[in-house]
Amino acid sequence: MSQPLEFTVGGLLDAVAARFPDTDALVYVDRGIRYSYRQFNEVCRQVAKGLLGLGIRKGDHVSIWAYNVPEWVILQFATAKIGAVLVTVNTNYKSAELEYILKQSDSTALFLVKSFKDTDYVATLNEVVPELQGAQPGMLSSATLPFLKHVVFIGEETPGGMINFERIMALARDVSDEELAAAERSLDCREVINMQYTSGTTGFPKGVMLTHHNIVNNGFNIGECMKFTEKDRLCIPVPFFHCFGCVLGVMACVTHGSTMVPVELFDPLAVLRTIEQERCTAVHGVPTMFIAELEHPDFPKFDLTSLRSGIMAGSPCPIEVMKRVIRDMHAAEITIAYGQTESSPVITQTRTDDPIELRVATVGRALPDVEVKIADIETGAVLPPGKQGELCTRGYLVMKGYYKMPDETARAIDAEGWLHTGDLAVMDENGYCKITGRIKNMIIRGGENVYPREIEEYLYTHPKISDVQVYGVPDRKYGEQVMAAVIVKKGVELSEEEVREFCRGKIANYKIPRYVKFVDSYPMTASGKIQKFKLREMAVRELQLEDGGEMA
């Protein structure tokens, strides 16, 4: 095995800035922002000093609730330079989810933008923390969130109780370079630096603790699979709050001195324009993003001949889409990646020279320095090539654990250090893996992981619902859609729209059931376990989803 990188995230940026000082590090086409690695490192250093000036220290948890604004990627490195843990909040979250994340993570600070799509972030936060409006900035005292002291606003016209991001830059003037250097010297690359929430079968999101070591090495190996160098320019339209954005995007670039070219909010036209203007050599996306780009009426007008590589991940890739990305987008070396947040996140990836059949029929082979095995679900024995079992992985990429959930951690990582993914897979003689199903009843809708138990727990709070089972059904556009089979309490009536309305504003839109079916009972096993696969089969027949469902 090769020697893993021993950098902290901040130390990595220092080293790359010294090696490629004048190479573009971060470019925002629409904002006219263009930082070289020297300039980007300096901005991150200033914000790190400002965080120290605010009173944030090593080990403190700092949440960020924002789409792909420049401040997001700056904070990723600024927090890392002082050893604060960046807690990434899904941009689609609503009030109940936000409250849970801030509370469970013990966040002392929250950075946020004004709004995203149909959600007013400021109003949502005030709903969760009514004390904020009248609070002195930096002196928040919340009954619900006792740890939360600072709310930092990214944008103009700072709302009550918050301070502006620009103030962080001003606070940096009162902190010396030596104070920052002392903070950096105190860090160890095996310490936690990032916390991302992934829903669990328990119904409650779990904070996945990732270290400098996890994401630096995973980012490096991902970039190696795409053959990244300082000459590559990656268009990043996938969200930073996902590992897809902040590891497969940001860390893959920075480990190779490549240029990050983010798109703030996904829009197919903005992606095409960005690739053309910046002569991007790579682009990331889930299949639905690539489809939207290819099918945009203005697609033929753009010169995409600079493209070479990138990653398609998040859900299975249709072969025709892959062929068009290679032929029409010129990304002949596009790769497929598979993993999960708990593995930092990539476990397997195709290589740039793999034939198209392998890039569509498989999720590639293990990254360098990563072990993968297919284990028998009943006995745990390692299975030979061609046999289906659970995909397990071991190595530098395995998370530190779930925050404050030792039992959940022990269930995910066994005594020998193997992370159990819960995914069913088959491996061939050359190590290429094919994902064949899921042990867990997780739904993947448009690249978003949706855990039925979480939605069920919420719907159980509806006064008219006696029981509910949530499961996925096929959908041509999103891969899967959410469906709920509801048993209504005796003597009351409930409509599909009432169920959906109950969810609006409380859970993310992508988790709201697309289909609602009212039933009197569920199909059961002899031992009394509900058979969700039978509910799914019935729905496929009744809704005529055999061909992949409607184009919703």
Per-residue pLDDT for 552 more than 60? no
For the segment 357-370, the average pLDDT, to the nearest whole number, is 93
Tokens for 165, please give them.
């991001």
- Establish if 421 belongs to a structural domain: no
Whether the CB-CB separation of 128 and 140 falls below 8 Å is answered with no
- Confidence at 315, pLDDT banded by 50, 70, 90: confident
Instruction: Show which of 293, 328, 363 is a domain's final residue.
Output: 328
Instruction: Show which of 304, 328, 352 is a domain's final residue.
Output: 328
161 and 297 housed in the same domain: yes
- The domain total for the chain is 2
**Confidence at residue 378, expressed as pLDDT on a 0 to 100 scale:** 77
CATH code of the domain containing 453 = 3.30.300.30
**How many percent of the chain have pLDDT more than 90?**
81
- Establish if 412 belongs to a structural domain: no
**Confidence at residue 527, expressed as pLDDT on a 0 to 100 scale:** 44
Question: Could you give the CA distance from residue 477 to residue 290 in angstroms, rounded to a whole number?
Answer: 12
- Establish if 2 belongs to a structural domain: no
Question: Could you give the CA distance from residue 186 to residue 496 in angstroms, rounded to a whole number?
Answer: 55
| 31: number of Cβ within 10 Å | 10
Q: Which pTM does this prediction carry?
A: 0.85
**Confidence at residue 205, expressed as pLDDT on a 0 to 100 scale:** 87
Give Cβ neighbours of residue 131 (< 8 Å, ≥ 6 apart).
140, 141, 142, 143, 161
- Establish if 108 belongs to a structural domain: yes
**Confidence at residue 519, expressed as pLDDT on a 0 to 100 scale:** 94
Question: Could you give the CA distance from residue 127 to residue 123 in angstroms, rounded to a whole number?
Answer: 6
- Establish if 256 belongs to a structural domain: yes
48 and 185 housed in the same domain: yes
323 and 461 housed in the same domain: no
- Confidence at 551, pLDDT banded by 50, 70, 90: very low
Query: Which residue segment(s) compose the domain that 485 sits in?
Result: 443-542
**Confidence at residue 473, expressed as pLDDT on a 0 to 100 scale:** 93
> Of the ranges 34-38, 451-455, 499-503, which one carries the lowest mean pLDDT score?
451-455
Instruction: Show which of 283, 313, 328 is a domain's final residue.
Output: 328
- Establish if 336 belongs to a structural domain: no
**Confidence at residue 22, expressed as pLDDT on a 0 to 100 scale:** 98
- Establish if 185 belongs to a structural domain: yes
